[in-house]
Amino acid sequence: MFTPASAAVGPMANRACPSFSADLFDHPRGGSLVILTRNRRTLIASIGIALGVVLLAAACDLGADTPNPPVTISATNTNGVAPGTVVFVGVDAQSPPNATPSSVFGVEVRLCKANVPILNSADFAPTQGGNCIAHPLSAGTDTVTSVGIAPPYKNALLTFKLGAGTDHYTMGDGTAATITCNKATPCQLVAKVQVPASAAIPSGQVYKHFQVVYSS
C-alpha cells in the first residue's frame, strides 16, 4: 500500500488557502477590526472588512469535496512536486477507517483547474465542463487514469503521472477551453469514485480534490 499525504476527506483537506495572521488583523475592542500599519493603527469598519475576510475564505473552498463520502479517499503528496511525479490515489471502503463498510466499484482521476467545484460527471468531463485537461500537458504524462474494481469491492489503487504546461481544446458546444498547470499556476487532481447509490448520493459518485502545487 502507500502512505497518503492526508487521509482527510473534508472540504479543506490538502487545500493551500490564505491564512489571516494576528499580526495583520486585531480585535482590540468592541469587535472592531484594526490593521497594523508601519506608523500607526488605523481603525476601519469591522463589518466591511469582516465581510471581505468571509468572502475570501469562502472563495478559497470552491473545490469542496462531496460531503460525507462512504469511503476514504487519499493520495500521496501533491504539494511541492516536480512535473513527472507519479501520484498514487487509494480508496478504502472498509470499516475501519469508515464508520460502516461500503463498496468501491471504480475510480477515475483527472488533472483539472484549481479551486473549481467538480461534483458531477459534466463538471468532470473536459468537453462538457472545460475544467479538466483533454491532452497530456507534457510528453509521457497522463490525461486520465481509471481502474475497475473486482469483488469484494473493498480497495482501489491507481496512479497518475503529473504533467506541466498548457492544454487548449474545444468543448462540445464550440467553446474554447484553456487549462494551465505549472509552478505559477497550481491545479488540482480530482478523483471520481463509484460507490453504491443512496438517498444521500443518488448518482453513486463521490468526488475528492487534491491541490497540486508544482516545485518547478
- DSSP letter, residue 77: -
* pLDDT of 22 strictly over 60: no
3 state SS of 82: coil
Q: Which of 136, 127, 120 is nearest to 65 (CA)?
A: 120
pLDDT for residue 106: 98
Cell representation of residue 112: 483539472
* pLDDT of 26 strictly over 50: no
pLDDT tens, position by position, 140-172: 999 999 999 999 999 999 999 999 999 999 999
* pLDDT of 196 strictly over 90: yes
**Domain ranges, ordered by start, for the chain:** 25-60, 72-214
pLDDT tens, position by position, 48-88: 333 343 333 333 444 589 999 999 999 999 999 999 999 99
Task: Please indicate whether residue 44 or residue 136 has the higher confidence score (pLDDT).
Answer: 136
Measured from the Cβ of residue 98, the count of other Cβ atoms closer than 10 Å reads 15
Tell me if the domain spanning 72-214 has CATH number 2.40.33.20: no
The CA-atom distances, in angstroms, between 176 and each of 60, 121, 131, 187 are 25, 19, 11, 19
Instruction: Tell me whether strands 79-81 and 205-214 are parallel, antiparallel or unpaired.
Output: parallel
Cell representation of residue 133: 485537461
pTM of the model: 0.74
Percentage of the chain exceeding pLDDT 70: 71
pLDDT for residue 64: 80
- 91 sits in the region (left: phi over 0; alpha: psi -120 to 50; else beta) called beta
Q: What is the mean pLDDT of residues 181-202?
A: 97
